[in-house]
């Protein structure tokens, strides 16, 4: 088995929440902000990965299963 960690900075998560649900950091209450921060930590708390990637430079398009490089990588 190979453990692959896919990391996404919390700033990017908030931008994507805003784009997807219209729910950005500024409009979020304290409970939601705490939940997002907690998830960001807990999802990776189980231990080390064999490989880690960051999706900071990728943008999701239409299909939730496919990532394409953002224009800055092309």
| DSSP for the chain, written as a single string | ---EEEE--HHHHHHHHHHHHS--TTT--HHHHHHHHHHHHHTTTT---SEEEE-TTEEE-SSTT-EEE-GGG-
pLDDT recorded at residue 6: 87
pLDDT recorded at residue 61: 55
Per-residue tens of pLDDT for the chain, all 74 residues: 999 988 888 888 888 888 888 889 999 999 999 999 999 889 989 889 999 888 776 665 544 544 445 454 44
pLDDT recorded at residue 11: 86
Each domain of the chain, given as residue ranges in start order, spans: 4-73
């Amino acid at each position: 088995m190979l453990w692959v960690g896919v990391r996404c900075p919390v700033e990017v998560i908030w931008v994507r929440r805003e784009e997807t649900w219209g729910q950005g950091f500024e409009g979020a209450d304290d409970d939601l902000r705490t939940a997002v921060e907690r998830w960001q930590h807990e999802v990776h708390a189980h231990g080390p990965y064999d490989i880690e990637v960051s999706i900071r430079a990728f943008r999701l398009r239409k299909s939730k299963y496919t990532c394409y490089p953002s224009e800055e990588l092309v």
